[in-house]
């Protein structure tokens, strides 16, 4: 496969010379049994999108929760927005977490609240005036194409719609980092593509750094080989042979990080597991 790096038309997307948004060093995680993750090190640079691949149950979701301090590592260090958080008290973590957005595997919407209150959850806690909340919720829901669900409850939404509402909730605060936990898992191909399009839109329009967990190679390759055309207001393929240079890959297997690199390096990897996973 001959692919050249895609030079994005938006200068804001180019990686600035600042420190990483997320940096994990020699991280180990375990619960009661043997370690789930061992010696994991990687970073996410500003405006970078990293796709975390791996088989089910390998610890991908655990890694995401580790990054925003929902879980603590047994060993190693986790830096979020330049601050070491592995030993940070919970109270100090809340303001840091509020700067990030996370889309959970099943959406994790609050089922006793309407879509409006779910999306506006952070704004309501910050006592933002109702008029401003309504305007921002409408804008966020318009971004994910679900403005008509404003007054509905999550129970009346389909699985794909719930994920899109979860994306709106994660984006409304204009986060400095977005973590997507299998956003297309268990969804049909059409809905999956809609969600991938939203992720590409967020990446290319707002240049938000992100880490996306998936075991669907098709989604990962779509992210790499497409960009969002603002004029056409849709995701379009990059010219043949080009990939998004800010979108790179990580792969976990048996609790260890076995790959860290670009799409080109991934498809040419000699690692037997990577080859097996790709095939």
Partner 1 sequence: MAIHTIDRTAKQIVLTVQEYSLFAGRALMNLFRPPIYWTDFLIQSDIIGVGSLPIVILSGFFTGGVLSLQSSATLSAFGATAVTGQFVSLTMIRELGAVLTGIMVSGRNASSMASELGSMVVTEQIDAMRALGVDPMRKLVTPRVFSTIVMLLFLTIVADAFGIMGGAAVTVFLNHQNATQYFHMAYEHLRYPDIVQGLVKPLFFGYIIASIGCFYGMRTTGGTEGVGRSTIAAVVNASVLIIFVDFLITHVLLSILPS
| Binding residue for partner 1, selected from 22, 79, 80, 104, defined by CB under 8 A | 104
- Own/partner contacts of 93-100, CB < 8 Å, gap of 24 or more, are 93/68, 93/69, 96/68, 96/69, 97/68, 97/69, 98/122, 98/173, 99/175, 99/176, 99/177, 100/68, 100/175, 100/176, 100/177, 100/178, 100/179
Structure tokens at 142: 């318009």
Establish if 83 lies at the interface with partner 1 (CB under 8 A): no
Query: Considering the complex, what minimum distance in angstroms separates the CB of residue 25 from partner 1?
Result: 22
Nearest to 200 by CA among 227, 169, 236: 227
| Binding residue for partner 1, selected from 81, 121, 153, 221, defined by CB under 8 A | 121
Q: With CB under 8 A as the contact rule, which of the stretches 77-85, 87-95, 219-227, 240-248 interacts with partner 1? A: 87-95
Using CB under 8 A as the criterion, what x/- string covers residues 21-60 for binding partner 1? ----------------------------------------
Query: Considering the complex, what minimum distance in angstroms separates the CB of residue 121 from partner 1?
Result: 6
Rounded to whole angstroms, how far apart are CA atoms 9 and 30?
43
Query: Considering the complex, what minimum distance in angstroms separates the CB of residue 198 from partner 1?
Result: 18
Query: Considering the complex, what minimum distance in angstroms separates the CB of residue 181 from partner 1?
Result: 9
Quote the Cα angle for 255-63-228, to 5°.
120
Query: Considering the complex, what minimum distance in angstroms separates the CB of residue 99 from partner 1?
Result: 8
Question: What is the DSSP code (8-state) at residue 205?
Answer: I
| Binding residue for partner 1, selected from 125, 151, 156, 190, defined by CB under 8 A | 125
Between 97 and 256, name the residue whose CB sits nearer to partner 1. Answer: 97
Q: With CB under 8 A as the contact rule, which of the stretches 1-9, 13-21, 98-106, 220-228 interacts with partner 1? A: 98-106
| Binding residue for partner 1, selected from 4, 14, 57, 111, defined by CB under 8 A | 111
Q: Residue 270: CB partners within 8 Å, gap ≥ 6?
A: none
Nearest to 207 by CA among 243, 233, 245, 164: 245
Between 169 and 203, name the residue whose CB sits nearer to partner 1. Answer: 169
Interactions with partner 1, residue window 158-177 (CB under 8 A)? 169
Establish if 92 lies at the interface with partner 1 (CB under 8 A): no
Question: What is the DSSP code (8-state) at residue 204?
Answer: I
Query: Considering the complex, what minimum distance in angstroms separates the CB of residue 9 from partner 1?
Result: 32
Rounded to whole angstroms, how far apart are CA atoms 137 and 225?
30
Length of the chain: 279
Establish if 106 lies at the interface with partner 1 (CB under 8 A): yes
Residues near partner 1, by CB under 8 A: 65, 68, 70, 90-91, 94-95, 97-98, 100-102, 104-106, 108-111, 121-122, 125, 169
């Amino acid at each position: 496969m001959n692919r050249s790096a895609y030079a994005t038309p938006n200068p804001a997307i180019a990686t600035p010379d600042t420190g990483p948004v997320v940096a994990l060093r020699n991280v180990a995680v375990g619960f009661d049994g043997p370690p789930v993750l061992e010696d994991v090190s990687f970073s996410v640079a500003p405006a970078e999108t990293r796709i975390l691949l791996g088989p089910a149950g390998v610890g991908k979701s655990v890694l995401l929760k580790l990054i925003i301090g929902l879980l603590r590592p047994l060993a190693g260090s986790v830096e979020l927005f330049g601050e070491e958080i592995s030993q940070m008290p919970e109270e100090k973590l809340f303001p840091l977490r509020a700067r990030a957005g996370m889309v959970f595997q099943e959406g994790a919407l609050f089922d006793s609240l309407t879509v409006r209150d779910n999306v506006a959850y952070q704004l309501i806690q910050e006592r933002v005036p109702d008029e401003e909340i309504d305007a921002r919720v409408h804008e966020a829901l318009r971004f994910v194409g679900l403005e008509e669900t404003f007054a509905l409850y999550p129970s009346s939404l389909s699985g794909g719609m719930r994920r899109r509402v979860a994306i709106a909730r994660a984006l409304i605060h204009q986060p400095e980092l977005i973590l997507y936990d299998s956003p297309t898992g268990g969804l049909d191909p059409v809905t999956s593509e809609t969600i991938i399009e939203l992720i590409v839109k967020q990446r290319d329009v707002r240049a938000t750094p992100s880490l996306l967990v998936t075991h669907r190679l098709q989604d990962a390759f779509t992210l790499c080989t497409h960009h969002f055309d603002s004029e056409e207001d849709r995701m379009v393929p990059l010219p043949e042979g080009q990939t998004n240079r800010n979108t790179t890959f990580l792969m976990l297997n048996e609790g260890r990080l076995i790959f860290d690199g670009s799409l080109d390096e991934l498809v040419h990897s000699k690692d037997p597991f990577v080859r097996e996973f790709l095939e």
